[in-house]
Chains A and B, each alone.
Chain A
Amino acid sequence: MQTRILKQLALVATCFLPLPAPAAEQITVLTSYPEEVFAKFEAAFEAANPDLDVTIVWRMPHDALPYLRGPGRAHVDVYWAAAYRNFTILAREGALSPLTPDRSALPVSVGSFRLAGPHDSFAGVEMAGFGLAFHPGQLGSLGLPAPNEWSDVADSRYEGHVLLPVPSRVGFAPTLVDGILQGHGWQRGWDLLQRIAANARLVTSGATFLTDELAAHRGAVALGIDFFTRSAIANGMPLAFRYPSTGGLSFAQVAILRDAPKPAPAARFAAFLLSSQGQTLLLDRDIRKMPVRPDIYTADDDTWNPFANDAPILRYDPDLGAQRAGLVSALFDVLITDRHERSKSAWSALRNAERRLGSDAPATERARLARVERMLSALPVTAAEARDPQFAAQFDRRTAPDAAARVAEITAGWRAFFDRQTDEAMHALVE
């Protein structure tokens, strides 16, 4: 009886409920962030701006550019992604409208990287660094020290315990690899990458795959981007992460499309990303990106503060990295991915020979092994070519429509070059 009365009262009360709130104005945001990231920003922005309602359109960077160049652009107000190359292309094509957020709390640049795009066409909103993720317990059980530098995991003691992402398959990996190349130089960088690859299992899945593999003891060290590991650590995984003294930085941007249907609300979304609230949200344990506002970092925060560190990593040139991402990925595939087993055995044979001969080997033997190493390290692309925008443009599938055919032709030549070099090196080794 009491229940029935309560239900009747509840029904009467329902009649006096306020009418639903009027429809909020919708803005459309194109992004490639994972659900955990965009959903938190979406919810926080809508809570702070109840008159606005965010619609997410999701596309990976390689898929977003053609979408934003096509009719889909007419629906999009904001582009928000870690896809620097796309932003520079769209800015060059005049597809972005000037963005003028309150910059009073924003630095002009981080290291050598200017946060604002040309003519304020976009703004940097967050960044991520690259380094070594590892499982201290697993390393301990293997008797291996925690690595500090990229070169540490090139040591043969790490053989079979390293995970190396493939740049053509894992979104963040081109900048990871380019950070090593910029830090060590073109020739020495590839030499180091080959030695690391000789110890590594190649990985073609991104996101949390690396941390999951480490947690499952299917590898002890992984070369990767910081936030997946730092988020995993914040959520209880027994992992650690170190930034070597050289490496890349990845920046994410926000821009308003020139033809945005809702430019004013779009500007409010961009301003939110750069606000204290939006930047603090980057420190969430499920996100763990680096804010671009120095005032967000606190002394007791475990986030690596790029503004407090004069590390060489800050000298990384993202423009060069973006310019030659296609070239680096193609060369990595031909040199490492496609011939991994052969390359591993060649480097392993060289290491064994070095170990056998020892440090007091005769000069002629040392010279012979140095010649073998030079053969294995030889590259079909010079350092000058690697900095040449015209040369790199041949490999850019986003701007060169016929890139696939041209890349196939060029890489066939590289393949023959590496096969020849390896054959000669192995021949020289057994002389």
Chain B
Amino acid sequence: MRLSNERSRRARLCAALAVLAYAMAHAAEAPESEISPTVADASRDAYSMPMSGLPEDLRQRFLGGRALFRQVWVIAPSADDAIDGLGPVFNRLSCIACHPRNGRGFAPEGPTDELRAMLVRLSMPGDRDKAPPMPHPDYGDQLNELGVPGVPGEGRAAIYYTVREVTLADGTRVPLRAPSIRFRDLAFGDPGPTLLTSARIGPAVFGLGLLEAVPDTTLEHLAKRPGPHRGRMNLIWDAALGRLVPGRFGAKANETTLTRQVAAAAHGDLGITSSLHPVENCTPIQTACRLAPSGGAPELSDDQLDDLVTYLRFVAAPARRDPTDVVVRRGEQRFGDYGCADCHVPTLSTAVDALPAALAGKTFQPYTDLLLHDMGADLADGRPDHLAGGQDWRTPALWGIGLASRVDPRAGFLHDGRARSLLEAVLWHGGEAIDARDAVRDAAPDDRAALLRFLESL
């Protein structure tokens, strides 16, 4: 009897300990509080706010990453060795230069204006199908206009515009400016007639952790939708995984993860090496570039890269304004009627097992399908990138777009900032989106105004 009681007592104790251990284990896994992916802020800081409810350790990494994102990088060698290694050739001195207040970059106003939040990608026509762009042998894959003292920048790009007008159904005339790129002061001679170019402004950077956490299966499902707007995945070889992975970042969806995207931008735009891009961005002909001092091997440590990625993962997307307003709701209806929502898919969800776990199982409204679409000849850059052809562009997320000009009045629209307003951006649509564009062009003024009002509410 005593033995039985003892066993019973032990059993109860073991059961209690098991329950306690289970509770402790799950308490350790669970975030301290529920993270909210959007923030109700319509100020100029609307693109810079952390998701609410970040646990303290994530908040500290977020702040560390934010400091790096705003950091002006220093020429090596420097007493500030954590932030040295700019260049030897580069475009701007900080991330924030091309993403002002985390917002969209902007295009030059004309050929005498510098590219202050824009860059030009370069490549040569490739003989390999579905491959990454082949860099120019002397200028690499991006024109780095600036160099550290003693190292020449690669040259300067000048943007020229030719303007044409589109007349809407009610007679309103909308000027559209078509950019063309010309180079001057090229340091290594004529790049040749076959050079492919593509101008890009910096995109807005918020809500990226949510886009990263959308499962591949969602993209596969969206790409199999019936109809002309189903889109295609760009597929990128992931050496670590040993398989092709859908791209989701970049104007042509040529990067698969935020880490890869950040490391590529640090290398391409700032000349900062990392463990993913350990070699300085100097081509063989760039002797001074190759001899310039390095800021370390690599210049961006893995911890710093992690901090940057953490920051970009947890910058909240701004919440919609006035979603119940009558005009906004009418515009939202037209957005669907005209077919815009076929590609600018309103709602996506992250995977239930997504990492980081804080972002798992979230439903949000980015207005993108993360897929490539043929946008027609007028928007084409003619520069293939993996599976993306010269007319293909990834559907850009529209969330927060209504605040773009408030965050920075210079903000441009479309990949190269040619559009100065949302209406201009819509009127540039072609290819798969030509029906939607024509519907807007031919719409009654009230419907068109409602559509734009809806976009401004995002």
Contact string against B for A residues 57-95, beta-carbon threshold 8 Å, 1 for contact and 0 otherwise: 111101100110000100100000000000000000000
**Nearest 7 CB-CB pairings of A with B:** A236-B43, A20-B184, A75-B149, A58-B72, A235-B44, A63-B79, A20-B158
Contacts of A207 in B (CB 8 A): 67, 70
Interface Cβ pair total, 8 Å cutoff: 91
C-alpha gap A50/B75 in the complex (Å): 26
- A35–B96 CB distance below 8 A: yes
Residue of B nearest to A28 (CB): B149
- B80–A60 CB distance below 8 A: yes
Among B63, B74, B183, the one with the most A-chain Cβ atoms within 10 Å of its Cβ is B74
A382 at interface, CB cutoff 8 A: no
Shortest beta-carbon distance from A414 to chain B in Å: 26
Contacts of B156 in A (CB 8 A): 20, 23
- B93–A75 CB distance below 8 A: no
Interface residues on A, range: 35 or more
Shortest beta-carbon distance from B254 to chain A in Å: 26
Given that A7-B377, A35-B97, A50-B112 are contacting pairs, would A21 and B184 also be in contact in the complex, using a CB cutoff of 8 Å?
yes
Contacts of A60 in B (CB 8 A): 74, 79-80
Residue of A nearest to B178 (CB): A10
Among A56, A66, A236, the one with the most B-chain Cβ atoms within 10 Å of its Cβ is A236
Contact string against A for B residues 176-187, beta-carbon threshold 8 Å, 1 for contact and 0 otherwise: 001010111100
Residue of A nearest to B410 (CB): A43
Among A10, A35, A75, A237, the one with the most B-chain Cβ atoms within 10 Å of its Cβ is A35
B378 at interface, CB cutoff 8 A: yes
- B70–A17 CB distance below 8 A: no
Given that A21-B111, A35-B96 are contacting pairs, would A237 and B45 also be in contact in the complex, using a CB cutoff of 8 Å?
yes
C-alpha gap A10/B100 in the complex (Å): 32
Residue of B nearest to A236 (CB): B43
B363 at interface, CB cutoff 8 A: no
Contacts of A18 in B (CB 8 A): 111
Shortest beta-carbon distance from A166 to chain B in Å: 16
C-alpha gap A109/B78 in the complex (Å): 35
In B36-80, the 8 Å CB interface with A consists of: 43-45, 63, 67, 70, 72-75, 78-80
A39 at interface, CB cutoff 8 A: yes
B201 at interface, CB cutoff 8 A: no
C-alpha gap A43/B106 in the complex (Å): 13
Given that A20-B182, A39-B97, A236-B43 are contacting pairs, would A75 and B377 also be in contact in the complex, using a CB cutoff of 8 Å?
no
A354 at interface, CB cutoff 8 A: no
New A-B contacts (20) at CB < 8 Å, excluding given A67-B78, A205-B67: A3-B377, A3-B430, A4-B377, A14-B180, A20-B156, A20-B182, A20-B184, A21-B158, A21-B184, A23-B184, A39-B116, A58-B74, A60-B79, A63-B74, A66-B79, A75-B150, A207-B67, A207-B70, A235-B44, A236-B44
Question: Interface on A for B, CB 8 Å cutoff?
Answer: 3-4, 6-7, 10, 13-14, 17-18, 20-23, 28, 34-36, 39, 43, 46, 50, 53, 55-60, 62-63, 66-67, 72, 75, 205, 207, 209, 235-237
- A46–B114 CB distance below 8 A: yes
Q: Which residue in B43, B72, B100, B158 is a CB contact (below 8 Å) of A237?
A: B43
Contact string against A for B residues 72-109, beta-carbon threshold 8 Å, 1 for contact and 0 otherwise: 11110011100000100000011011001000000000
B162 at interface, CB cutoff 8 A: yes
Given that A21-B184, A72-B149 are contacting pairs, would A35 and B164 also be in contact in the complex, using a CB cutoff of 8 Å?
no
Shortest beta-carbon distance from A396 to chain B in Å: 15
B372 at interface, CB cutoff 8 A: no
Contacts of B377 in A (CB 8 A): 3-4, 7
Contacts of A23 in B (CB 8 A): 156, 184-185
